[in-house]
Homo-oligomer: A and B are copies of this chain.
Amino acid sequence: MNEPTPSRRARLRTQTSEEIKAIALRLMAAGGPDAISLRAIAREMGMTAGAIYSYFPTRDDLVTTLIGDVYTAAVDAAEAARDAVPDSDPGGRIMAWGQAMRAWALANPEGFRLIYGDPVPGYRPPEDGPGRAAEVRACTGLVGLVAAAWPTARAHQPDDRAYEWADFDPGLVAHVREDFPDLPPAALALTLRVWGRMHGLMALEIYGHLRALVHDPAAVYRDEMRALIASLGLTADR
């Protein structure tokens, strides 16, 4: 499948590329997304800024790559937490996912900003790319959680005929219909609402709007997750 010795050149290349990304992540963690400057990275590597252009055609491409890496790490954490809870406890799996996401966001606030905020002045995320893939993966994970809750949740939803598959992104729909053939489009809409509900308090907290108003955002978030799980007709034991 792969060549054992990717020609030393390629090895050095990927190694340098990884070092660039690692330093960029470190700079971002230290000083925010705006601290990702090619000059600063090059300075830390003992190079000049222009050299980085051999690895990333522009700064935005570097940021795009970083977003993919960071987003993937976040989804990895969420999936791991979810899978630590048995299938027999769908509410607990939702809680685990939400708490893992929040814990990750609090541990990597700059990463959160990178993914969900304006990562960098003037940066616009591309339509496809690794970040998009991670997002679809995150969304698919959420769909799985909602699918497990759907038997009890569907009764609490508005009339199911309000949504069609055509209302959603074809790529995501393909994933969903393959993994959960019995799920109606309304469940996908519910998934997006669940996503928004998890995202709201998290975003407010990361961007400092919540901590100025309440001393223990974790308690508020926990209550909100419990209410969310209850609204799906499930129970959250913890």
Which residues does A use to contact B, with CB under 8 Å? 31-34, 113, 116-118, 120-122, 125, 127, 132, 135, 139, 156, 158, 162-163, 166-169, 172, 188-189, 192-193, 195-201, 203-204, 207-210, 212-216, 219-220, 223-224, 226-227, 231
Copy number in the complex reads 2
Known: A118-B117, A162-B219, A193-B224. A132 touches B212 (CB 8 A): yes
User: Judging by beta carbons under 8 Å apart, are B227 and A231 in contact?
Assistant: yes
Known: A34-B122, A223-B193. A212 touches B169 (CB 8 A): yes
User: Judging by beta carbons under 8 Å apart, are A196 and B204 in contact?
Assistant: yes
A57 vs chain B, min Cβ distance (A): 21
How distant is the Cα of A189 from the Cα of B162 in the complex, in angstroms? 32
Closest B-chain residue to A199, C-beta based?
B200
Chain A: interface secondary structure? helix
A201's partner among B156, B192, B231 (CB-CB below 8 A) is: B192
User: Judging by beta carbons under 8 Å apart, are B125 and A208 in contact?
Assistant: yes
User: Judging by beta carbons under 8 Å apart, are A213 and B158 in contact?
Assistant: no
User: Judging by beta carbons under 8 Å apart, are A196 and B189 in contact?
Assistant: no
How distant is the Cα of A216 from the Cα of B122 in the complex, in angstroms? 26
Q: Which residues of B contact A209 (CB under 8 A)?
A: 116, 135
How distant is the Cα of A212 from the Cα of B126 in the complex, in angstroms? 11
User: Judging by beta carbons under 8 Å apart, are B197 and A214 in contact?
Assistant: no
Q: Which residues of B contact A118 (CB under 8 A)?
A: 32-33, 113, 117-118, 207
How distant is the Cα of A188 from the Cα of B215 in the complex, in angstroms? 12
Q: Which residues of B contact A204 (CB under 8 A)?
A: 116, 195-196, 199
A100 vs chain B, min Cβ distance (A): 17
Name 16 interchain pairs, CB-CB below 8 A, sorted by A: A31-B122, A33-B121, A113-B117, A118-B118, A135-B212, A156-B227, A158-B223, A158-B226, A169-B212, A169-B213, A192-B201, A192-B214, A193-B227, A196-B197, A196-B220, A200-B200
Q: Which residues of B contact A32 (CB under 8 A)?
A: 118, 121-122
Known: A193-B220, A193-B223, A220-B192. A214 touches B167 (CB 8 A): yes
Closest B-chain residue to A167, C-beta based?
B215
